[in-house]
Amino acid sequence: MNSRSLQTTIVFLVIGGILALALGGFFGSASRQFSSVLVELQTWVSSRYLGIQDFVTAPRDIVSLRARNVELEAQVSQLQTQVIELQQRVNETEILAALVDFSRSNPESTYKAASVIGRDPSPFLHYIIINRGSNDDIRRGMPVVTNQGLVGRIDAVIADAARVQLITDPASSINVYLQNAETDAVLFGSVTGDVSLDMISQDSSVEPGDLILTSGLGGGYPSDLIIGQVVTMRSLEFELFQQATVQPAVDFTRLDIVLVITNFRPVDITPLVP
Amino acid sequence: MRNIVAFPLLLLAVILQSSVVSQVKLLSGYADLPLLILGAWALQKRVKSAWHWAALGCLMIGFVSAMPWPVLVLNYLAVVFIAQTLQRRVWQAPLLAMFSIAFMGTLLLNFLSYVVLSVLGTSFVFADVIGLITLPSLLLNMLFSIPVYTFMRDLARWVYPTEEYE
């Protein structure tokens, strides 16, 4: 056996021995340490490579991302506008549907819908301005309602707009009828927007929650329009009449669309008043 | 010729007053944009058309509001008069003059409204008027008077440009 074949045999024996030791589990701790070092090294190289790659490619990505972001923001704002528009339409449709229901349930009157486009510039007065006028056969004195109840009446008219005096106006007074107590009273507005009842007979038994309707007396309003409910009563023995505070059926802060009763003509009883 | 800007400006002020400002309430009071505009305009040194603007303002507000027109006429003309008087005497502190006009104009408008409407048969609780309308309106008018004055000062420079170089 020459020296070369002896070397080969030794190498094979060493390798075989190492393999046998490895397979026998004698290299476990050494191989774990080796592999952990290898993994750490691999991780370090990989992270550095990714860092360099990010550094090289980032500017291009930022530009494209910014462009995409702008595009998406524009899309979002467009969609938000659409959502608001649709929401407005839904609200308007709901109001109109309620008003249609109301007009169907009260077929004795004819109605004309109008949008509220303004309010009186003075805080002393409670008036609204609507977008219907004499061109739409709106006349002074016509009652204005919503599906919830009475709003007021037309005070002044021009061709395409009209001014409505609300029942909350301090100068407003309406003859009303208390349904449960079966008695008449007068409803007054106030500068704060609250409405109250006066001229309730001391003999009448009015309770909180009683429904208030227009009585039709005086000819200013048709009868049986809902106004609101009694909240509290004030009855003093030494006074001629009882008073009451009222919760109006209509939310006057959120008036958007109203109905004008066009087939009602107010009666002017001024000449008959002594 | 540029004075013609009074028409669109006052028209816009009346529309804003009717549709926006009257919804921005503090208790039951709100600011009076036309009053502030007329006061701020009359305060500008070079302005010579304040009385015309006041007349136009009365006309426009009187068209929209149910307030009896003598209240508006008296108040807006008085505001212009006060502004011009103050402009001559307190010319070194224009913002102070503007605050004074907002203060006096609001008080006068509320007083006139209260008196005239009471005479016409509307009943008011005086404490309610003071607490819920006058004081909140005063505060809002004071707040609004600064931006309105600044805007009207710039507008006056635009309407009367030649006098700036004299």
Q: Which residues of B touch A (CB under 8 A)?
A: 14-15, 17-19, 21-23, 25, 28-30, 32, 34, 61, 64-67, 110, 113-114, 117, 120-125, 128-129, 132-133, 137
Task: Determine, for residues A170 and B120 on separate chains, whether the beta-carbon distance falls below 8 Å.
Answer: no
Q: Residue B128 is nearest to which of A129, A188, A192, comparing CB atoms?
A: A192
Same domain, A135 and A101: no
Q: Domain boundary at A49, A74, A105, which? A: A105
Task: Determine, for residues B17 and A124 on separate chains, whether the beta-carbon distance falls below 8 Å.
Answer: no
Residue A272 lies in a domain: no
Same domain, A132 and A86: no
Interacting residues of A72 by C-beta distance below 8 A, sequence separation 6+:
none
Interchain contact A194–B (C-beta under 8 A): no
**Mean pLDDT of the A263-270 span:** 79
Give the whole-angstrom CA distance, residue A249 versus residue A230.
11
Residue A273 lies in a domain: no
Give B41-91 pLDDT, tens digit per residue. Answer: 998 888 888 888 899 889 888 888 889 988 989 999 999 999 888 887 776
CB contacts, 8 Å: B114 with chain A:
124
**Quick check: B152 pLDDT over 70?**
yes
Query: Residues 97-126, chain A: which have Cβ within 8 Å of B?
Result: 117-125
Same domain, A79 and A32: yes
**Kind plus residue range of the DSSP H or E element containing B115:** helix B94-119
Residue A59 lies in a domain: yes
Is B101 within 8 Å of B43 (Cβ atoms)?
Answer: yes
CB contacts, 8 Å: B133 with chain A:
123-124, 191
Structure tokens at A238: 């030494």
Same domain, A90 and A55: yes
Structure tokens at A179: 């349904």
Higher pLDDT, A3 or B109: B109
Q: Domain boundary at A50, A81, A105, which? A: A105
Report the pLDDT value the prediction gives residue B130, as an integer from 0 to 100.
92
Give A142-195 pLDDT, tens digit per residue. Answer: 999 988 889 999 999 998 999 999 999 999 999 999 988 888 899 999 988 889
Is residue A62 very low, low, confident or very high in pLDDT (cuts 50, 70, 90)? confident
Is residue A266 very low, low, confident or very high in pLDDT (cuts 50, 70, 90)? confident
Same domain, A61 and A156: no
Task: Determine, for residues A121 and B15 on separate chains, whether the beta-carbon distance falls below 8 Å.
Answer: no
Give the whole-angstrom CA distance, residue B19 versus residue B22.
6
**Quick check: A59 pLDDT over 80?**
no
Same domain, A127 and A261: yes
Task: Determine, for residues B67 and A170 on separate chains, whether the beta-carbon distance falls below 8 Å.
Answer: no
Residue A24 lies in a domain: yes
Same domain, A249 and A152: yes
Task: Determine, for residues A120 and B64 on separate chains, whether the beta-carbon distance falls below 8 Å.
Answer: yes
CA B71 to chain centre: 13
Higher pLDDT, A18 or A231: A231
Q: Residue B123 is nearest to which of A129, A156, A170, comparing CB atoms?
A: A170
**Kind plus residue range of the DSSP H or E element containing B22:** none
Same domain, A128 and A150: yes
Q: Residue A124 is nearest to which of B34, B121, B133, comparing CB atoms?
A: B133
Same domain, A20 and A150: no
CA A8 to chain centre: 91
Least confident range of A111-115, A247-251, A266-270: A266-270
For residue B91, the 8-state DSSP code is: T
Same domain, A208 and A256: yes
Range of the domain at A171: 111-266
Domain ranges within chain B, ordered by starting residue: 2-165
Give A91-104 pLDDT, tens digit per residue. Answer: 888 888 888 888 77
Q: Domain boundary at A67, A87, A105, which? A: A105
Give which of A252, A212, A251 is closest to A229, Cα–Cα. A212
Counting the structural domains of chain A, the total is: 2
Q: Could you give the dihedral angle defined by the CA atoms of residues A33, A36, A37 and A39, in that order, rounded to the nearest 10 degrees?
A: 160
**Quick check: B1 pLDDT over 50?**
yes
CATH number for the domain including A162?
Answer: 2.40.10.340
**Quick check: A234 pLDDT over 70?**
yes
Give the whole-angstrom CA distance, residue A10 versus residue A21.
16
> In angstroms, how far is the first alpha carbon of chain A from the final one?
152
Three-state DSSP at A25 gives coil
Mean pLDDT of chain B: 87
Mean pLDDT of chain A: 86
Is residue A78 very low, low, confident or very high in pLDDT (cuts 50, 70, 90)? very high
Report the pLDDT value the prediction gives residue A22, as an integer from 0 to 100.
78
Report the pLDDT value the prediction gives residue A1, as an integer from 0 to 100.
56
